[in-house]
Amino acid sequence: MTPDGPDVALLVVGHGSRDPRAAGEFRRLVGAVREGAPGLAVEGGFIELSPPPVSEAVRRLVEGGVRSIVAVPLMLLAAGHAKDDIPATLVRERLAHPGLSFRYGRALGIRPELLELMDERLSAVVPGEEREETAVLLVGRGSSDPDANSDLAKVARLFYEGRPYPLVEHAFVSLTPPDVPTALERLHRLGFRRVAVFSYFLFTGVLEERIRRQSASFAAEHSGFGVSYAGYFGPEARVADLVLERYREALEGDIRMNCDVCVHRVALPGFEEKVGAPATPHYHPDEPGHHHHGHHH
């Protein structure tokens, strides 16, 4: 079966957001993926919060004659959704569509293309002559998965290497410390007068807006302390190219997640009960007959 054969398709799986702007950016990115792969059937669906649900995207592909689907999780870092919820949802869809096969790709992961995009966003708000005096704060979503949280720390270090910024710190906007005000306070106490904040998010939304708001509030409360907000990645063509790379990799290669410190396989302190726990499908609120659990940030 060729990568662009008529019976194989790409399913881009997003998280979903209460902010309709985020769903719009997701759709724009899926459109860019389609443009980058003429002849390949491409659909996008969400596991929660935004329509359409994954089940609807799968149904459209099946109605179009697709017999094999490569699903790529549109997640920057692999945490519970990419490791657990989406795979379980795909198993449910396979059971609902006998004869349909699935391959599952990796999350976008730690990539030089994303570091370059981040560099461009920061360079747009920090003049060249100020970079050697400006600290960078990289803010991620935050997860109950220590593996994903440690990946953000790795991204921060990789971004620091070879660039003029004197310090690159990381923080999280939900679920795990340090939060944005705590990280900014630390940089303030270290003597920095300028900080540039970048949200390690693909799209806007409730949490991205929270980062923006908390950064501005901290700057307003601390005289002489400047905080520049550099935004987030957005539906960039380079992100679409990376999605297609993950598609080709899943179709043609041997895809393995890094399981060395995966909370589902290794007994990490405080997370021992997660080892071997069964995966369960993530039910979208638009799917009839299913009560969806809530998320608290």
**In the chain, pLDDT over 70 holds for what percent of residues?**
85
- Best CA proximity match to 139, nearest among 192, 91, 207: 207
Instruction: Kindly give, in sequence order, each residue whose CB lies less than 8 Å from that of residue 70, ignoring residues fewer than 6 positions away.
Output: 8, 9, 10, 11, 102, 103, 104, 105, 247, 250, 251
Tell me, rounded to whole angstroms, the distance of Cα 72 from its chain centroid.
11
What's the sign of the alpha-carbon dihedral 115, 118, 124, 128?
negative
**In the chain, pLDDT over 90 holds for what percent of residues?**
77
Residue 176 contacts residue 149 (beta carbons within 8 Å): yes
What number of residues does the chain have? 297
pLDDT at position 106 is 93
Mean pLDDT of 167-194: 97
Cα separation, 77 vs 56, in Å, equals 25
Q: In this model, does residue 227 exceed pLDDT 60?
A: yes
272: buried, middle or exposed (CB in 10 Å: 19+, 13-18, 0-12)? exposed
At 226, give phi and psi (nearest 5°): -100, 130
Q: How confident is the model at residue 289 (pLDDT cuts 50, 70, 90)?
A: low
What is the token pair recorded at 69?
């689907």
CA angle 134, 138, 141 (to 5 degrees): 160
- Best CA proximity match to 179, nearest among 210, 158, 157: 210
**Average pLDDT, whole number, for the chain?**
89
Return the half-sphere exposure (C-beta side, CA atoms, 13 A cut-off) of residue 256: 4
Mean pLDDT of 146-164: 94
Cα separation, 152 vs 146, in Å, equals 10
